[in-house]
Amino acid sequence: MILKSISFHNFRNFDKKQYKINPYLTTIFGDNALGKTNLLEGIYFILKGEGFRESKEEQLIIFNEKNGYVDAKIEDKKNKDISNLRIDLTVNDFGLSKTYFLEKTKKGRHSYLKNLIPVVLFSPEQIEVIDRTMSYRREYFDKFLSGIDSEYKKCLTNYNQALRKRNKILESSFNSQNLDVELDYWNKLLIDNGSYLIMKRRKYISFLNSNSIIDSKKFEIKYKENKINQERFTESLQKELLIKRTLVGPHRDEYNIFMIDKSLVKKNIHMYGSRSEQRLSLFWLKINELKYLEDFFKKKPILLLDDIFSELDHNNQKLIFNLIGNYQTVITSTEKELIKLINLSDDTSYDTIDL
Ligand SMILES: Nc1ncnc2c1ncn2[C@@H]1O[C@H](COP(=O)(O)OP(=O)(O)OP(=O)(O)O)[C@@H](O)[C@H]1O
Ligand SMILES: [Mg+2]
């Protein structure tokens, strides 16, 4: 399945724009602040039902407007069937509401998203997954797993709600008569939902470890579960009452990526990796996203590369260029020279969008 075209009405800085997307490669060129990242975000949005920035969702609509929409055509490569997608955006008192359409028929979010093209986004800012604190890694894996498993997403929401409630109880425990009963209720919820999260995380980590080599470098990820069960809650209660925080459960899981050299020495990349080693380990995660999604959905993902060439060294650039042609790819850059660097095979066509 491929994306054929996309159009925007009051989305980000685009009041009314339409773009054709090449089946192989589309390069988006433009100076700073012309809308390169916005265009990629629009593609991500129509295929995933959400943007990829931290900002509030209503910021997806152009300043000072209340309504907008994005629509797109996707094509099934085998039978050439075209589907029409559309998401309407409206700002109301509660924030942003989104309405999903397939072939002009209104759909629930879940059924709209069910049969679309998987997406992998790669941008230089994502290096934070590697070079910042553990919470960035937890967030990365949670986001990825929520995107492929709606049960995971549900369990994560339930888990986080229960965690907040339980922490509130710990904070105000001095005036609570029936602390045990109250905690018991939330412990059970945390155990039920948390066990699912741990199980799915474990499975994905084992997939990563069975695909450990990239560019003749070997990586390994160690997943340290913070086991969740009633015994651990009982053991930790005194300490928890003291610091008024829940200490047991997968919100405290740890992920550490190691690079393994020829003499089998393991180096923690977050602490000791050079910049290029850290980038390569991020790239290792991204390549595996592509592989996993392709295998899981039995469809090739679309690859969105946001301004990555300014950050990558020559070797890493080559690794990325090798992916182009294999996956429908959209790249943004300020440098027109970029296209000369990409070694396209003769049967790989490309289009350029100048913003
Ligand atoms: N909701 C919005 N309404 C109008 N303009 C917006 C909205 N959200 C973002 N913008 C503006 O859109 C412009 C383009 O942003 P974008 O991030 O796409 O730039 P870019 O081309 O990727 O630039 P850079 O090369 O700096 O990364 C920016 O000036 C930004 O402030
Ligand atoms: Mg940008």
Distance CA 155, CA 147 (A): 13
> Probe ligand 1: pick from 9, 11, 12, max atoms within 8 Å of CB?
12
C-alpha span between 272 and 280 (Å, rounded): 14
Average pLDDT of the segment spanning 320-341? 85
The two three-digit tokens of residue 314, written as one number: 């020559």
- Per the CB < 8 A criterion, the answer to whether 67 and 90 are in contact is yes
Residue 317 has pLDDT above 90, yes or no: no
CATH of the domain at 206: 1.20.1050.90
Q: Are residues 149 and 186 in the same domain?
A: yes
- 248 and 169 fall within a common domain: yes
Question: Which CATH number is 37's domain given?
Answer: 3.40.50.300
Q: Give pLDDT, residue 53.
A: 87
Is residue 228 assigned to a domain?
yes
Between the CA of 64 and the centroid of ligand 1 the distance, in Å, is 15
Residue located nearest, by CA, to atom 16 of ligand 1: 35
* pLDDT tens-digit map of 258-287: 999 888 899 999 999 998 899 889 999 999
Per-residue confidence (pLDDT) for residue 122, from 0 to 100: 92
Structural domain ending residue among the three candidates 226, 254, 272: 272
pLDDT digits (tens, 9 = 90+) for 219-253: 999 999 999 999 999 999 999 999 999 999 999 99
Q: What is the pLDDT of residues 38-60, one digit of tens each?
A: 999 999 999 999 999 877 899 99
Q: Which residue has the tokens 């929520």?
A: 146
Boundary residue ending a domain (253, 272, 291): 272
| Position in ligand 1 atom list of the atom nearest CA 63 | 3
310, pLDDT greater than 80: no
Structure tokens at 225: 């579960």
State the distance from the centre of ligand 2 to the C-alpha of 41, rounded, in angstroms: 10
The boundaries of the domain holding residue 81 are 2-117+300-354
Confidence of residue 336 (pLDDT cuts 50, 70, 90): confident
pLDDT score of 118 more than 70? yes
Q: Which pLDDT belongs to residue 263? A: 87
The more confident residue out of 325 and 40 is 40
* Digit-coded pLDDT (tens) for 140-198: 999 999 999 999 999 999 999 999 999 999 998 766 678 888 899 999 999 999 999 99
User: What is the distance between the alpha carbons of residues 264 and 87, in angstroms, rounded to a whole number?
Assistant: 50
Distance CA 88, CA 203 (A): 36
Assigned domain for 261 exists: yes
Q: Is 331 strand, coil or helix?
A: strand
Q: Based on the structure, what is the number of domains in the chain? A: 2
Q: Which residue has the higher pLDDT, 340 or 44?
A: 44
* Entry pTM: 0.92
Are 323 and 348 within 8 A, CB to CB?
no
For position 78, what pLDDT does the model report?
A: 86
What percent of the chain is modeled with pLDDT above 70?
97
What whole-number distance in Å separates Cα of residue 164 and Cα of residue 178? 18
Residue-averaged pLDDT of the chain: 92
Distance CA 66, CA 203 (A): 43
Ligand 1 neighbour 86 (Cβ under 6 A): no
- Confidence grade of residue 129 (pLDDT, cut at 50, 70, 90): very high
Closest to 129 measured CA to CA, from 283, 267, 251, 253 = 283
Cα radius of gyration rounded to whole Å, the chain: 23
